[in-house]
Amino acid sequence: MKNTFQIGILVVCAAAFLMAGLNLSFGGAPAYTDMDDYMLAHGQEETGSNNIVTGVVFDYRGFDTLGEATVLFTVVLGAGLVFRRLGKKEDEYEYE
């Protein structure tokens, strides 16, 4: 009974994702490109970067990258905390 419930939920989710994938049209022509056209036209003079992706990541979306770096820092803090607690108990762990 529980198993059929799980399978039913999975089938519903699979149908939703696959129908969405089938109904999106991949024509090689994105519908709304105003922002990206602006970035391609003015990104080189506004950010001074030949690589527009780097220009977007570090200049137009700088706050996003700051949050990203903070997430990485927090993950390292969390992993260090977890492994430090582990080492106290079993005396086998050398991570300072």
Interface residues toward another protein, by CB under 8 A:
6, 9-10, 13-14, 17-18, 20-22, 24-30, 33, 35-36, 39-40, 43-59, 61-66, 68-73, 75-76, 78-80, 82-83, 85-87, 90, 92-96
Is the CB of residue 55 less than 8 Å from the CB of residue 47? yes
Burial class, 50, CB count within 10 angstroms (exposed 0-12 / middle 13-18 / buried 19+): exposed
Residue 62 Cβ vs another protein, minimum distance, rounded to whole Å: 4
Residue 7 Cβ vs another protein, minimum distance, rounded to whole Å: 9
Q: Which tokens go with 59?
A: 């200049």
